[in-house]
Each structure stands twice: as structure tokens, then as C-alpha cells.
Amino acid sequence: MSAASRRPGPPPRVRVYVCTAVALALLLAPASGWLGAAWRFEAWPEAMLLAALLAVAHRQRVQIGLHRTINVGTAPEVAAVLLLPGPLAVLALVAGTAAGERRGPLIQRSFNIAAATLRALAGLGAYVALRHAGPTAISDPLATLAAPLAMYVGGTMLVLGVAAV
């Protein structure tokens, strides 16, 4: 029997948590239609380029500890959220993550894709909410900085949630 086949699957509570995250992502994804930049022709090639970059980043993960990796996908993710129309930003993050996470257990891939969707929505939400919150000179830079922060906090909370359950 191989080591992989002996490895026990995640506990039921983790499965429930991942299923909840996936359901939440599916439920909230349509809300991206109201978020993000305006539609324009260049958005499609930009989305494809960012998705490709994200996929490469996911495949080139760097192991920084036991069960802990980091990748440079944050940069294309943030660029996608700030640059693309909402649905296209979500699509780029989902496609890039899915393409980069072709290996690994299904539950892990599902969680990562759901987390990418929720991160994108958190970033888009923060960007849109703050962009119209005051004078452009203040709200624009504030919204630009708040989007990646919301993505980071959202992503971190989701990952910490797995450890907590």
C-alpha cells in the first residue's frame, strides 16, 4: 500500500467547512456583476494574461514550512481586482487558481478556488465601497490600498478557519 493511499482524509468538520466556503463562493459570485471596473475591450486579454500569471505562480509555490507555502500570485490577483470588471476579475482568479492547482486532493483544490473567489469579492467590495465614500483625491488611493488589504484579511481568515475547526 502506498503512503498516499494510507494517508487519512481530512476530518468531517474540515469537509463541512470547505463545503460551506464553496457554497458561499457560489452564492456570492453573481454579486461581482455590480463590482469592479467598467467593461472595455482590453479587459479580456488582460484577464487571460493575469489568469496565466496566476496559474504559473500557483505551480511555482515555495515551501516555507510544514504544510505552508507561499506564491507570488498576490501580485496578479491584486492587479486583476483593481483593473478588471468584477465578473472578469473573479473569472481570472478562479481560472488561474484552478489551472495552477491541477494536482492535489479535490477538497484542497475546491477550497483554494472558493477562497480565490471570496478573496476577489472581498477586494472588489472594499474597492467599490471606498471609492465612492468621499472626494476622489482621498477615496481613490484609499480604495486602491483597501482592496489588497481586504483580500489578505479575507484569505487569511479563511485559512485560519481551517486550522480552527
Partner 1 sequence: MRENPLRRAWATPHDTLVAEAALGLVGIMAALASADHPWTLPLLVVPAALAQRALRDGVALRAQTRQALEDLADVVDMRDHYTFQHSQRVAELARATARQLRLPASEVELITMAGRVHDVGKIGIKSTVLMKPGKLSDREFAEMRSHPVVGARLIGNFPQFARGRAYVLHHHERFDGKGYPERLAGEQIPFGARVLAVADAWDAMTSHRAYRQALPLERVYAELERGRGAQFDPAVLDAFLHVLRERPDLAAAHTTEAQDTDETEPQAPRAPEHAA
DSSP state of 31: G
Interacting residues of 23 by C-beta distance below 8 A, sequence separation 6+: none
Q: Are 49 and 42 in contact (CB under 8 A)?
A: no
Query: Minimal distance in Å, beta carbon 45 to partner 1?
Result: 8
Does the footprint of partner 1 cover residue 18 (CB under 8 A)?
Answer: no
Does the footprint of partner 1 cover residue 26 (CB under 8 A)?
Answer: no
Name residues contacting partner 1, limited to 99-158 (CB under 8 A). Answer: 144-145, 148-149, 151-152, 156
Does the footprint of partner 1 cover residue 82 (CB under 8 A)?
Answer: yes
Distance of CA 5 to the CA centre of its chain: 30
* Residue window 49-78: x/- pattern of binding to partner 1, with contact defined by CB under 8 A: xx--x---x--x-xxxxxxx-xxx-xxxxx
Widest CA span in the chain: 65
Cα(34)–Cα(37) distance, rounded to whole angstroms? 9
Does the footprint of partner 1 cover residue 46 (CB under 8 A)?
Answer: yes
Instruction: Report CA torsion sign: 60, 61, 64, 65.
Output: negative
- Please report, as ranges, the residues that interact with partner 1 according to CB under 8 A: 42, 46, 49-50, 53, 57, 60, 62-68, 70-72, 74-79, 82-83, 144-145, 148-149, 151-152, 156, 159-160, 163-164
